[in-house]
Structure 1
Amino acid sequence: MTGVRVVNTAQAEAWNGYEGEHWASHADRYDGVNGGFNPFVLDLVSPSDRVLDIGCGNGQLTRAAAARAASATGVDLSGPMLTTARARSAEIPNVTFEQGDAQVHPFPASTFDLAISRFGVMFFADPVAAFANVHRALSPGGRLAFLCMTALADTDLGRVFGAMAPYLPQPTGPDGTGPTSFADPSRTRAVLIEAGFESVECTHVEAAQTWGRNIPDATAFITNWGPVRHHLAQVDTETASRAREALTEALKPFETPEAVNLRGTAWLVTGRRP
């Protein structure tokens, strides 16, 4: 990341290492997991909008936004995923991608009308500073709309990850950190209001998530996902085997003849720059 200012160094290392490589090389798989949530954000895009996609990853949402908007710019820490995003967007004239840490990236002031994200805002080192930077990049009256994880309790994903809990730590960490850093709507509202946003709302939404063609395929995919892979490497062979067996068993209720589908849950968070 030569020449790119980064304050979130741990995330930069992960997303330019194994984690980013795995997401880039399995772009279609991750879009199968998360793409069902796209309409909740895309329905808010207007034809005249200049869109900023924060944590754009492999760029599926950015491309879809560009099809509805005047332009779309994706920003992400991950070089591997941006390579995939650019390759898949080569024929789309109103899409651009930039590598950067959204917390400190030098966005031109008042440039965008809508800032969006699909599960790309949960890892900021300083979320207030990050959203204040996004706030500065929006034009007056500009809007914010992002998707983030809910708490895992009483969800399909919580049930699946919970099956491995006797053998491995939860791959998402405690609620309020990492992927579930915005699981509490009251905290989310407080962060965004401190960053300068108003009219903040958190709406619970659900979508189907496809994790694999069948149970062996889904098990392999989940156990090779960065956080699970990391925890499996920290335990002995027998414990790792039991964790995989528990995961396999937990996935069985979600298998259909076509795929392994879980019902995903998220918060759709919206706000506005005054």
Structure 2
Amino acid sequence: MNKRMMLTIADYIGLYERMGERTTQPFALQLLDRLMPLDECTLIDIAAGTGGLARAAAERGAIVLAADINPAMVARATDRLREFPSSSAQVLDLHNLAIDDETYDIAVSHFGVLAFATWRTGLSEMLRVTRAGGRIALTMWTHHDDCSPAHLLRRVFNALYPTRELWPAGLFPSFSAKTLRQSLADAGCVDIEVEVVEADWTPLSSTDVVSECDPLFRSFPGYAALDTREAETLRASLEAAFDGYSAADGTIHLPTRAFMAIGRKPD
């Protein structure tokens, strides 16, 4: 087995935090900016991962619960929230949150609930645990063009191997601003605002961007199934695609794009 595939849980969590959050955290900060002020607000972050948004919210004065189904993610989020005694992390299933109705002022899911085909159940749970008049906040990739490193990979992969799937069809639900707004309205939200926001993604070392992304990309079945020759071909094409976003000094700046949606639970 390729050593790059032999990741321990600790390795994966570190990789997720080091690389995954580099893509998503800029949007977390923009979302929290729109939710300010957060002093003494109770906030639940559903599908919180390693707690990047949860920690940033706690730093801004919120009382946070970071909820995730993965115990390793929750353990890391717990560690990151340790200096905020009023905040915590807990293993919870987004489809059936073991939380009383109308507990939180704000329910957030940052590239979480909407990434699942069963997002309607998760969204319903978000509404249930939010108090009347409280806010619901969501982010989700636009899935258009090269809106994230993974989507750039998908474009290159599809060009090289058009009869294969990088990830299973329907794995990630796709929204437009209109359908996202309607989905929130159908769930019971009012005063809904949806916008497309942009953040600049720069890999840790632009000179070896494909190698840096490789362990995360291997989570996609189509990528992991490539033989040695196919993988080499893909890597060369992917490097060229990343180079298309490089500045004069060689630094890659990929403009990533996501939907940001905020609604309110009726009084």
Given the two structures, how large is their TM-score scaled by the length of structure 2? 0.84
Take 1:116 and 1:155, find their aligned partners in 2: how far apart are those partners? 21
Q: Deviations over 1:161-210 (max 9, x none)?
A: 31222335564655xx334x243223323332222222222111101112
1:29 aligns with 2:22: no
Which residue does 1:149 correspond to in 2?
Answer: 141
Take 1:184 and 1:197, find their aligned partners in 2: how far apart are those partners? 17
Question: Any idea what SS the aligned residue of 1:260 has?
Answer: coil
Letter in 1 for 2:243: K
Q: Percentage identity across aligned positions?
A: 23
Compared with structure 1, are the counterparts of its residues 70 and 84 closer, same or farther at alpha carbon in structure 2 (3 Å cutoff)? Answer: closer
Take 2:97 and 2:253, find their aligned partners in 1: how far apart are those partners? 37
Which residue does 2:237 correspond to in 1?
Answer: 246
Question: Any idea what SS the aligned residue of 2:84 has?
Answer: coil
Take 2:139 and 2:109, find their aligned partners in 1: how far apart are those partners? 6
Q: Deviations over 1:127-176 (max 9, x none)?
A: 222211111100100101111100223647544531222335564655xx
Q: Deviations over 1:33-73 (max 9, x none)?
A: 22211232111132131011111111111011112234011
Compared with structure 1, are the counterparts of its residues 173 and 151 closer, same or farther at alpha carbon in structure 2 (3 Å cutoff)? Answer: farther
Compared with structure 1, are the counterparts of its residues 172 and 190 closer, same or farther at alpha carbon in structure 2 (3 Å cutoff)? Answer: farther
Which residue does 1:255 correspond to in 2?
Answer: 246
Q: Kindly indicate whether the alpha-carbon contact (under 8 Å) linking 1:215 and 1:248 is maintained by their aligned counterparts in 2.
A: no
Which residue does 2:156 correspond to in 1?
Answer: 163
**How well do the aligned residues superpose, as a CA RMSD in angstroms?**
2.6
Q: Deviations over 1:97-117 (max 9, x none)?
A: 111211111222111011122
Question: Any idea what SS the aligned residue of 1:128 has?
Answer: helix
Structure 1, 33-42 or 200-209: larger mean CA deviation: 33-42
Letter in 1 for 2:29: P
1:186 aligns with 2:178: yes
Which residue does 2:3 correspond to in 1?
Answer: none
Question: Residue 65 of structure 1: which of 57, 66, 85 is its match?
Answer: 57
Q: Kindly indicate whether the alpha-carbon contact (under 8 Å) linking 1:34 and 1:209 is maintained by their aligned counterparts in 2.
A: no
1:134 aligns with 2:123: no
Compared with structure 1, are the counterparts of its residues 269 and 223 closer, same or farther at alpha carbon in structure 2 (3 Å cutoff)? Answer: same
Aligned residues: 254
Which residue does 1:42 correspond to in 2?
Answer: 32
Unaligned runs of 5+ in 2: 1-5
1:114 aligns with 2:103: no
